[in-house]
Each structure stands twice: as structure tokens, then as C-alpha cells.
């Protein structure tokens, strides 16, 4: 193998190492926060506003939200999702259990709520992998919300 060829090989190896380590650190940064993968504050807020509208228009769930202060609900829901997905916010509301106890939420209502939230995330153009990660987290809260 002549010197030029050796030199070229060395350059290729170094370039290869650099590009793979750049890819790794970029991936780590993006994966640091699901909140950012969802699109951050503006996008999450769009999804939540859409969700609250859907809840008010829903024939089965709207009744539960008749007397709720929408501004507070939107704010608290934003803070909650931000905290849940590592966005650096602090949710100051009550626990999921405390909020939902007494509302007699059934499994079917929970599933309906989650399907509506999928449509709301689509309204906000949230990428599917990020949607799925958030849905996974919401599914983990099922037992704290359901009573029936």
C-alpha cells in the first residue's frame, strides 16, 4: 500500500469517526426532551386548545367540562404536559388522582379522551413518533384517572 493510499484511508477513518460521533450527540440532544420533539410550547399549546374545543363539542364528555374555567384548564394542562415530557416547567396543580376523583371516569371515557387527544395532536402537526411517546406516558396515568 503506497503512502498516498494510506493517508487517504486515514482521512476517511477520521472523517467517519467524526460524523458518527456528531450524529450520536445530535440524537442525544434531540432526545433530551420529548417536549421539544412534540414541537415545544407553541405546538403543544395548539394541541391543547384544540383538545379543549373538542371536549366542549363532544356529545359524551362535554358535560364534565361545562363549569370548568378554560383559561385555567389550558394553562394547567400545558404545564402538566410540559413537566411530564421534560420541558422544564413546574406543574402547580393537584395530583391526577385528586383532580379526577369524584368525576366517575370510566375506561371507555378515558379511551375516548385519548383518541380525541390524538386528533388534537394531529391538528398541531405533531410528528407521529413524538405522539406515540406522549401517548405511552398518558397511558401510564390511566389508573390515576379512571374510577369505574
> Cα dist. 136→34, 45, 125, 130 in Å?
12, 19, 18, 10
Considering only the stretches 20-28, 44-52, 60-68, 126-134, report the one whose residues sit in contact with ligand HEM under the rule CB under 6 A. 60-68
100: contact with ligand HEM by CB under 6 A: yes
> Which of 36, 74, 89, 138 forms a contact with ligand HEM (CB under 6 A)?
138
74: contact with ligand HEM by CB under 6 A: no
Q: Residue 103 CB, nearest distance to ligand HEM (Å)?
A: 6
Q: Which of 45, 72, 28 is nearest to 126 (CA)?
A: 45
> Which of 36, 46, 52, 64 forms a contact with ligand HEM (CB under 6 A)?
64
Residue count, binding to ligand HEM (CB under 6 A): 21
83: contact with ligand HEM by CB under 6 A: no
49: contact with ligand HEM by CB under 6 A: no
Q: Which parts of this chain interact with ligand HEM (CB under 6 A)?
A: 61, 64-65, 68, 72-73, 76-77, 80, 93-94, 99-100, 103, 105, 109-110, 113, 138, 141, 145
Amino acid at each position: 500500500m503506497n503512502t498516498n493510499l494510506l493517508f487517504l484511508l486515514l482521512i476517511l477513518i477520521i472523517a467517519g469517526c467524526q460524523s458518527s460521533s456528531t450524529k450520536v450527540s445530535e440524537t442525544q440532544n434531540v432526545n433530551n426532551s420529548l417536549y421539544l420533539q412534540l414541537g415545544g410550547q407553541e405546538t403543544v399549546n395548539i394541541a391543547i386548545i384544540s383538545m379543549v374545543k373538542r371536549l366542549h363539542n363532544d356529545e359524551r364528555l362535554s358535560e364534565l367540562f361545562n363549569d370548568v374555567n378554560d383559561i385555567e384548564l389550558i394553562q394547567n394542562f400545558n404545564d402538566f404536559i410540559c413537566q411530564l415530557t421534560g420541558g422544564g416547567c413546574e406543574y402547580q396543580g393537584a395530583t391526577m388522582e385528586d383532580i379526577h376523583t369524584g368525576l366517575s371516569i370510566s375506561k371507555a371515557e378515558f379511551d375516548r379522551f385519548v383518541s380525541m387527544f390524538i386528533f388534537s395532536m394531529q391538528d398541531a402537526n405533531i410528528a407521529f413518533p413524538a405522539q406515540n411517546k406522549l401517548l405511552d406516558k398518558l397511558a401510564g396515568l390511566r389508573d390515576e384517572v379512571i374510577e369505574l
